[in-house]
Amino acid sequence: MDKLIVHGGATLRGAINISGSKNASLPILAATLLTAEDCIIRRVPDVSDTNYMIQILSALGGDVERSSGTVRATCADIVDHAPYELVRRMRASICVMGPLLARKGRCVVSLPGGCVIGDRPVDLHLRGLEALGAKIEFEGGNITLTAKDGLRGAEIDLRGTHGPTVLGTDNVMMAATLAEGITIIESAAAEPEVLDLANFLNSMGAKITGAGTRRIVIEGVKELHGIEHTVIPDRIEAGTFMAAAALAGDGVILRRVCRDHLKAITAAIEQSGHRVDFNEAGDICTVHRSEITRGVNIVTAPYPGYPTDMQAQMTALLATTPGISVIKDTIFPQRFMHCAELKRMGADIRVDNGTAVVHGVAQLSAAPVMASDLRASAALVLAALTAKGSTEISRLYHIDRGYEHIDEKLLMLGADVERVKDH
């Protein structure tokens, strides 16, 4: 296993390119199961989550190869049983359910386990697929869905107690593309990644309207064909580097971003006193760190609200921002693993009932810390950038799940980091 050593105190300068979106790539890769023809997908980040999905497609019988950021997938002869060994390692594997069911009339996928950010139920996915006509059985930790006579369009409300479901919306939307008749999804997730998937599906010949809003309408078609597609920029990677620039930067430039997807993150960073300038096209931003900053209140919410995937990173920034900040995660109320580690570095944070109250301190100090989940790990890297001394972050594989070459990008910005083997 690798660990990252971050020597605090370096000032970040210069420019980096933001990678393609992990969370758009995963359902789009799964959507290649809906056709027997070649699909070419560009700007798929080289991270372990997308590589797991590529392995799952291959294990299902797909002919898949990656060359740098471009993946070619041809899922001509596929089986309907996703391999437990791979599925158990990544919760997002659940998004092969919809396409497999639509293409094969049956699919067997293992129930995803929980994870450190909280319970990861799939009841809303199943509610939607059942409404399209799937029969559902649970056996030996697997979910088996069958629709011998094919799927039929339905009106479905996918709202859950914590709001819409991103992958649940993806699963139902993908299944509905080949269903008989019209499907209406109410309370749909409106994340940019859902819209990117819908654009991919429409290029394949699907008939989807309303993606990116709470109400999506899908008119089923007989079959879908292969296409070429470029994935949208990763707004969470961009947000993570915006927070790094606000913490330790001096005019850091991020290229290949999408201003529209970053509104809530930009607002939070500017509310705490920093400035973010975008170019005319909105695909390049410059973050200007300010010395006069203040605490802010953050409440995560479904898009276009403040993303839960940027909650830990903002907590790291606010840990050394003067004043009191209150951060509430309404989507994953248990997603505060990073706070215990930040407190070991000297942060003053009290977590209670899905809310963290942060009193900004002057400076954190280095300590050996352990990554726990993707975004918590990123928060520790951010905190280490300005901590006194050298911080060792172990279990780096958590970061490698969703950040493409994070150490190399930080080095390009002048951070003093090194990736070493953790014996």
CA distance 407 to 419: 7
| Stretch of 68-76, 100-108, 161-169, 351-359 lying at the interface with ligand EPZ (CB under 6 A) | 161-169
How far is the C-alpha of 319 from the C-alpha of 315, rounded, in Å? 6
Q: Map residue 422 onto helix, strand or coil.
A: coil
Shortest approach of ligand EPZ to residue 292 CB, angstroms? 31
Write the interaction track for ligand EPZ spanning residues 400-419; mark x where CB under 6 A is met and - where it is not: --x-----------------
CA–CA dist 311, 379 (Å, integer): 9
List residues bridging with 365 in a β-sheet.
Answer: 388
Q: Which of 101, 147, 154, 167 binds ligand EPZ (CB under 6 A)?
A: 167
Q: Is 23 in the site for ligand EPZ (CB under 6 A)?
A: yes
User: Which is nearer to ligand EPZ, 272 or 308 (by Cβ)?
Assistant: 308
Query: From the list 7, 66, 106, 162, which residue makes contact with ligand EPZ (rule: CB under 6 A)?
Result: 162
Q: How far is the CB of 278 from ligand EPZ (least distance, A)?
A: 23
Residue range at the interface with ligand EPZ (CB under 6 A); choices 67-75, 101-109, 165-173, 199-207: 165-173
Instruction: Give the distance, in angstroms, between the CA of residue 347 and the centroid of all CA atoms in the same chain.
Output: 26
Nearer to ligand EPZ, 142 or 286 (CB): 142
Structure tokens at 380: 């520790």
CB of 151 to ligand EPZ, least distance (A): 18
Candidates 184, 233, 231; CA nearest to 210 is: 184
Q: Kind of pairing, strands 228-230 and 38-42?
A: parallel
Positions in 118-137 near ligand EPZ (CB under 6 A): 119-125
Closest distance of CB 373 from ligand EPZ, Å: 7
What is the C-alpha to C-alpha distance for residues 315 and 288, in angstroms, rounded to an integer? 19
Residue 245 interacts with ligand EPZ (CB under 6 A)? no
- Judging by beta carbons within 10 Å of its beta carbon (0-12, 13-18, 19+), is residue 114 exposed, middle or buried? exposed
Catalytic: 115? Answer: yes
By CB under 6 A, is residue 212 in contact with ligand EPZ?
no
Q: 394 with 1: CB under 8 angstroms?
A: yes
Q: Least CB distance from residue 71 to ligand EPZ, whole Å?
A: 16
Site residues for ligand EPZ, 377-396, by CB under 6 A, read none
Angle, alpha carbons 417-422-423 (nearest 5°): 150
Q: In angstroms, rounded to a whole number, what is the distance separating the alpha carbons of residues 196 and 278? A: 22
Report 93-122 residues binding ligand EPZ (CB under 6 A).
119-122
Phi then psi dihedrals of residue 359, to 5 deg: -100, 115
Specify whether the CB–CB gap between 198 and 171 falls below 8 A.
Answer: no
Catalytic position from the list 39, 75, 95, 115? 115
Q: Which residues make up the interface to ligand EPZ (CB under 6 A)?
A: 23, 26, 91-92, 119-125, 160, 162, 165-168, 189, 193, 308-309, 331-332, 374-375, 402
Residues designated as active site: 115
